[in-house]
Each structure stands twice: as C-alpha cells, then as structure tokens.
Amino acid sequence: MKAHVKLPSQLAAATLGNAVEWYDFSLYAFLAPIIAKNFFPTHNSEKSLLLTFGVFALGFLARPIGAVLFGHIGDKFGRRLALLLTTCCMTLATIALGLLPTYQSVGVLAPILLLLVRLFQGLTVSGELSGSSTFLLEHAHRRHWGFAGSLITASVYAGQLLGAIVGFTLTSLISKAMLVNWAWRLPFLLAVILGVVVFVLRWRSTETPSFEKEQRASHLANAPVSEAFRHYKLGMVHIFGILIIAAVAGYMLVGFLPSFLIVQMGFSYHFAFLVTLFGQFLVLISLPIVGSLSDAFGRRIFLLIGTIGFIVLSIPIFWLFSSYWLSLVLFAEMLFALLMACINGVVTVTMAEMFPTVVRYTGIGIAYNIALAVFGSTAPLIAEYVVNYFHSQYAVSLYLGICGILSLPFIMRVPRLRLMGSVEEMSA
C-alpha cells in the first residue's frame, strides 16, 4: 500500500468517512419499506414506498448548494477542514434520523421532519466524495491514481455493504413487528460511533502536498466557484454526462432492486438483502482490480465496457431478475454488479483528472452532486413508477438503456490512454 498511497492514515481518513455516508444511504434504501410504514402509512404499500423514495429524492435538492459551500471551503481553506466539517454535520444528521418521531406519534409532522433531515443530510454529504477523492489522490503517487481513485469508490460499496449486513442482521434476529416499532432506529444511531472514529482520523491527518504547494505560491483562487465556471465549465459538463449512467445504475443497485425483489417479486426481506450483499461484495472486490488496470490501459475502455453492457444487457438482466429462479436472480445481480464495477472503478479518477488543484474540490463537487440530484436521487423513484405504470420490468430496462445511450457520447470524449495525474501536472 505504501507504494500507492504515501500515508496509510490518510487512506483511512479519506475512505472511512465516505463509507459512513453510504452506510446511511444504504440503510435508508434497505429499510425503505419499513420507513414507509412509519412515516407514510397507507393501505397501498406501493404508494407508501413511492412517497418514501420521493423524500429520498427531494433530499438531494440541497446537494448542489452543499457542493458550492464545501467546494469553496476545500479549495480556499483546505481539504482537511472541509472534511472535518462534513464529518460532524453528517454524523448529527444520521443520528437525528434515528430519533425522529413516527406518523403514529406526531401525525403529518413526521414526514415533514423526515424531509428536513434528508435535506440537511444532502447539504452536508455533498462535500464528502469530492473531498475524500481529492484528499486521497493528492496524497497518492500520480502513477497510481487509478488504483487510489478506485479505493474511494470501494469505500462507497464498503459502506453500502455494512448497511446491508446490519439490515440483514436486524431482519434475521428481530421480529418484523419489533423492527417496524423501534428496532429500525438502532443502525442509524450506530453512526455516532463511526462518526467519532472518522473525526479523530481526520483531525490527525495532514493537508495534501498539492494544496500546500499552491497555498505557498499564493495561487489559490479567491472565488473557486467562479474560477471553475469561468475556466472549467466544459469539464463539469463532461463529468455530468459521464455520471448519468453511473448515477442511475448505482442507485438502482442499492436503492431500487432490494424493494423491487420484495414488493414486486414477493421475495423475503432475507433473500433481497442476501442478493444485495452478493452484488455489493462483487463490486467491492472488483473495483481495485479495474482501477489498477486503468493505470495501464486507460479509463475509457472500462467506461465503455460498463456503459455498452448496460445498453445491451438491461433487458436480459431484468428478465433474469423476474424469473423467480433464485440462481437466475443471483446471476442477474452478478452481471449488474460487474458492469457497475467497470464504470465506478475509474469514474472517480476520471473526474479528478479534469481539474487542477485550485478548483478540483469545487469542480468535482458541483458536477457530481448535480448529476446525483438530477439522475441518481430520482432513479429509485422513476424505476418504481415505471414498473407500476407499465406493469412491466422491461420499462426499467428501457430507462436504464436510455441513460447509457445519453452517457455514451461523453464517455467517447475521455482520452483513450490514461492521463498522468491532473491538468496542471501534465503540463509541468
């Protein structure tokens, strides 16, 4: 590891915070049917689930605002300070979610409070992936940026995997009645322990060499957001386009498919969680392999494999998901996961290589969070809606395939060979 990342402590500080963010996201997605019962009780379970996913999507409206805020802090005052702030706010938001009163206790105030908490979460976590990726890559050797970037994405799936494990454990050990009544709160409250650990690691970390170099040379932008839009807006548009398929497929994997298997296909909570665990584990172990290979063969080839794969195989994949044969459902999850790994194994480093140090945090944050707000957050909601409206899983396949087609022209513009680090490092 020392050959790739200068300080193991910096690796832990970057990846664990990202994992905590996605631990919370994963829990909300996996426990969506239970959250729906507590905050949107109706006689129609599918309608309740739609409302729950709707709140999930609305929470992302605050993410572009947070990206501007934390991008400014990260590019002007340092990556370390920005990440410390995101850790504190993120932990408080997750704890608040675990303490919310339900509809049975306070009526319509409950879903309103749920929405407010999700908005605050969206604001605070918007600086996490852009900050942690910038922080880790600027500590890593440029020859291994693909591998280092894949570790950031791997931390996303590690957090999701942890959430899935906790969800599966809850459903295995606790009755459904207890889970609906109070036990669903426990995994969210666990975030206080995780948050303290991440805060200590980041407090003890050091600022990145690239940022300190620009700071000593007085090259830092006074207004990073203005600088990014003035000189690097095409790079942000490029990232936005690439992330269409990455955001939709990624959020469908963990945000829609578990509920699809439970509500639409009638599988048990246990089986849905096991399938999701299997898929996330496959992505997790595949990401570093893809990232390392991209340092030799370039980023574009893997983006193309994943995107074209989703365009061509989306209908067969959802046919397998709807087969009622457990082995075929697992095979479908495997295909979905491996295609996701091809895209997500290189997308983080691809974003970072489009910006110089002085606007990297801002540029990645704005493009990434707008793409997630527009496409990622709405993916479970749209997928659930089209399944119910058309009464067919192939409507979801069409949606996924169209998103792949939209991303393809942007992916074709990614250089065939890998870039040696960032914009200014290539010209040095």
Q: What is the per-residue pLDDT across 325-363, written as a single tens digit (0 to 9) for each?
A: 888 999 999 999 999 999 999 999 999 999 999 999 999
Range of the domain at 194: 8-408
| pLDDT attached to residue 169 | 82
pLDDT above 90 covers what percent of the chain?
49
Report whether pLDDT(421) > 60.
no
| pLDDT attached to residue 216 | 92
Mean residue pLDDT across the chain = 87
Domain count for the chain: 1
Comparing C-alpha atoms, which of 83, 81, 29, 31 is closest to residue 59?
29
Residue 220 lies in a domain: yes
Residue 343 lies in a domain: yes
Residue 293 lies in a domain: yes
Average pLDDT rounded to a whole number, residues 401-413: 95
pLDDT band at 420 (very low <50, low <70, confident <90, very high): very low
Comparing C-alpha atoms, which of 57, 184, 81 is closest to residue 131?
81
DSSP label at 267? -
| pLDDT attached to residue 425 | 45
Give the model confidence (pLDDT) of 173-231 as tens digits. Answer: 888 788 888 888 988 888 888 889 999 999 998 899 999 999 999 889 899 999 999 99
| pLDDT attached to residue 177 | 83
Residue 379 lies in a domain: yes
| pLDDT attached to residue 415 | 78
pLDDT band at 80 (very low <50, low <70, confident <90, very high): very high
Average pLDDT rounded to a whole number, residues 255-271: 79
| pLDDT attached to residue 76 | 94
| pLDDT attached to residue 43 | 76
Residue 417 lies in a domain: no
CA 144 to chain centre: 22
Amino acid at 13: A
- Residue 47 sits in a domain whose CATH number is 1.20.1250.20
Residue 230 lies in a domain: yes
Residue 99 lies in a domain: yes
Least confidently predicted of 158-162, 243-247, 288-292: 158-162
CB 330 within 8 A of CB 278: yes
**Residue 420, C-beta contacts closer than 8 angstroms, at least 6 positions apart:** 142, 143, 426
Residue 422 lies in a domain: no
Alpha helical stretches, state H, 323-378: 326-352, 360-371
**What is the CB neighbour count within 10 angstroms for residue 398?**
15
| pLDDT attached to residue 316 | 94
Give the model confidence (pLDDT) of 13-53 as tens digits. Answer: 888 888 887 788 777 877 888 888 899 988 777 788 888 87
Task: Report the residue count for the chain.
Answer: 428
Average pLDDT rounded to a whole number, residues 117-138: 89
Distances (CA, A) of 278 to 31, 192, 264, 281, 331: 18, 27, 20, 5, 10
Give the model confidence (pLDDT) of 83-106 as tens digits. Answer: 999 999 888 888 898 999 999 999
**One-character DSSP codes across 69-122:** HHHHHHHHT-HHHHHHHHHHHHHHHHHHHHH---HHHHTTHHHHHHHHHHHHHH
